[in-house]
Homo-oligomer: A and B are copies of this chain.
């Protein structure tokens, strides 16, 4: 067992190596980064048997420790998941490299030519649960955006993640890039996470990827800026001017396509004048699809299978086949309700009235607002932004899907001919 002091020194070394590698990664040509990504994919495919073996060690230990079924499922790597990781890296290689893009440029009256140029964020610390595939995703996204990564996965996935990280490093080596551009924290000791959160000189940003409790703990404790995904308490609002069939389709898809993802709708808000017409169909469709429906008093009156919703329900992200239904008087009350109880992630309005839609889209204070579309589109891939490291519910820097572009910042490059300031 490492001592606290040892872990401190170990992590400082990891951080320094990441900072050093950054000077090369930040300015390297896209081709080299893509080569590393493709070679990493190859290495993962070649290491398949070895990786399955490491994963089976992890899996057995985790089962002995009594991990829950869904956690065990996330930990497991099978043939198709290993192939998906390799394919994911190849897909990242196909994305446009944001680094070096001139985001804006203009000339000043004194002749100075100013450019705002996209550059990597720096050293990114990514802290996640025992999902070994995140090692490949997060490492690949960081690499493509010119950042160096310090990856800290859940301790139950340590052996699997180690093999994956070695594959990524082999890719880096083949492309003649420093292998320290992607480092896995070399200890299972949780003290290492505490160290990362304090390393504001060596880590530029922390990205937690996991459940709300992990994320909240990191946000509270970190001295390094955090880009975080908190909960996705998403809503669909059915306005009085909604098309009934469209409302049924959108609600069922928003809730039941995959109830466990962050863009799944947790709460349905219905305009009173249309409730009697649309809600019976919606409730019936949801219950037929296996969803538990909870509702306010008026909604319970419409169908005896609706269970009572409490105040707590409005604030709850079920991540499960459960939905709460609230009736309101018009779009203003809907906006008030959603802004108060939602989590500023993704909310949708169903209406044929474009001025009501406009009001909703403008006043709902969420990263993603939709008109006549399912909340399950809240996803970097669906947005055409490629792979993402999460959906940010914060307002600073990145909001919504965090893909390669969101893992960058910019600097100002100024070209002069000897100008001095008067």
* Bound Cα distance from A180 to B241, whole angstroms: 35
Using C-beta atoms within 8 Å of the partner chain, give the interface range for chain A: 35 or more
Given A368-B412, A372-B416, A384-B106; A421-B114 close (CB under 8 Å):
no
The A interface is mostly helix, strand or loop, or mixed, namely mixed
A337-379 residues with Cβ-Cβ distance < 8 A to B are 339, 361-363, 365-374, 376-377
Q: Say whether A220 faces chain B, with CB atoms less than 8 Å apart.
A: yes
**In contact, A373 and B112 (Cβ under 8 angstroms):** yes
Evaluate contact between B250 and A367: CB separation under 8 angstroms: no
Cβ–Cβ contact B369 & A416, under 8 A: no
Residue of B at shortest CB range from A24? B363
Instruction: Check A372 against B415 for contact (C-beta < 8 Å).
Output: yes
Stretch at the interface among A149-157, A269-277, A291-299, A395-403: A395-403
What is the chain B residue whose CB lies nearest that of A409?
Answer: B395
Whether the Cβ atoms of B243 and A376 lie closer than 8 Å is: no
Q: Do B418 and A249 have beta carbons less than 8 Å apart?
A: yes
Contact A339 B411 (CB under 8 A): no
Q: Give the residue among A397, A411, A413 with the most B Cβ atoms within 10 A.
A: A411
Q: Tell me the A383-411 residues at the B interface (CB within 8 Å).
A: 383-384, 394-397, 399-400, 409-411
Closest B residue to A414 by beta carbon equals B370
Residue on B with the closest CB to A422? B257
In the complex, chain B residues whose CB is within 8 Å of the CB of A121: 395-396
Cα distance, A367 to B413, chains bound together (Å): 9
A311 at the interface (CB under 8 A from B): no
Any B CB within 8 A of the CB of A23: yes
Report Cα–Cα, A394/B411, bound state, in Å: 11
**Are A419's CB and B377's CB within 8 A?**
yes
**CB of A108 closer than 8 Å to a CB of B:** yes
A residues with a Cβ closer than 8 A to B are 23, 26-27, 106, 108, 112, 114, 119, 121-122, 200, 204-205, 219-220, 223, 225, 227, 243, 246, 249-250, 252-254, 257, 339, 361-363, 365-374, 376-377, 382-384, 394-397, 399-400, 409-421
13 extra interface residue pairs, beta carbon distance < 8 Å, beyond A225-B225, A395-B409:
A108-B382, A112-B382, A220-B223, A368-B414, A370-B414, A370-B416, A371-B414, A372-B415, A373-B415, A376-B420, A376-B421, A383-B412, A396-B397
